Amino acid sequence: MPPPGTIVAHAPCRVDLAGGTLDLWPLYLFHPGAVTVNFAVNILTRCKVTRLTDDKIRLKSLDTKVEEEFRNFGELCAAHRFKHPLAGYLARFFAPDGGFEIETHSESPAGAGISGSSALMIATTAALAKYTGKKLDREQIRVIAQNIEAQLIKVPTGCQDYYPALYGGVSAIHLDPDGIHHAAVRVAPEELDRRFVLVYTGAPRKSGINNWEVFKAHINGDKKIFHNFERIGEIARAMHHALSMADWKQVAKLIREEWKLRKTNAPRISTPMIEKLIAVALRQGALAAKVCGAGGGGCVVFLTEPENREHISAAIRSYGGHVLPAMVARDGLTVSGRSLGAE
């Protein structure tokens, strides 16, 4: 257990399977029945908030090796920019009394496309809510985290990244006119563990920019983009059903279709390295592959038969891909060692 005056929160990253970018408001309202399907992975983010004996405020990021200090909360609020903006913006929002330290850490590689920043937003939001005594349910935590992340990156943010961090497991996020609804997909996580390979290909350009370009084209009436997202919506609904039925042949078909469509939305979503690793894996018997997140680098997820998983992983490594030791995260957000439980 953490010492008195200390709160620790953990939240997992995610792999998206189908329906991404549709989770940007208001795009999903133009595609009735929109759903996004993803699963949490045991690549974790962590936030620790510790009370200090004076009025100083320290913001530390262990993975990026950034640290800054303010004499008091007033000085923090007067700052025009932060070295650790995620911690700075959330500290300013929650306004804790007295001195405190926010220390964060992410196991996600830089720019991996597996929602490391959004998971860390969830962990930090939950830790500060607990530290300041604010009783927030999971949806309230999601809204705060998503809105403040939009302030940070200065483009619209989708909602799908926050739900795996909150709930863990495999998720279908239904995007309806009356709100956003999370549902667990009833598929054994062990089946995904045996069939998926997660590979880091290198840091991409800013993922929000890819999504923003597609978003603008959609809003401006680009008929090709609209048609693509109509089909992406159909694929996502079919993916939800295929996963629920553990129909892995259909899951593979849908991943291939989604990746082919998504590449036509933005010219920089793929890279030569991504194309090389996908070609190598397919030659070795992989069933399907797609980039995680908005692309431009980062991670690629591969679907294989269980008996081929290690063989394909070795082939990917031999061509420079970094295979991550990822499994489905069974649990979502925990705060000081305890999950939020069911609401």
Which position has the token pair 């592959």? Answer: 289
> What CATH class is the domain 6-185+333-339?
alpha beta
Residue 245 predicted with pLDDT over 70: yes
* Superfamily for the 189-324 domain: GHMP kinase, C-terminal domain (3.30.70.890)
Residue 135 predicted with pLDDT over 50: yes
Which residues belong to CATH 3.30.230.10 in the chain?
6-185+333-339
Q: How crowded is the C-beta side of 289, counted as CA atoms within 13 Å?
A: 27
Residue 340 predicted with pLDDT over 60: no
Residue 216 predicted with pLDDT over 80: yes
For the residues of 176-218, what is the DSSP string, one character each? ETTEEEEEE----HHHHHHHEEEEE----S-HHHHHHHHHHHH
pLDDT at 278: 96
- 1 confidence band (pLDDT: 50, 70, 90): very low
- Single pTM value for the model: 0.93
C-alpha triplet 47, 81, 156: angle, nearest 5°: 75
Q: Within 10 Å of residue 196's Cβ, how many Cβ atoms?
A: 20
Which residues belong to CATH 3.30.70.890 in the chain?
189-324
Separation CA 190–CA 85 (nearest Å): 37
pLDDT, one tens digit per residue, over 65-82 is 999 999 999 999 999 999
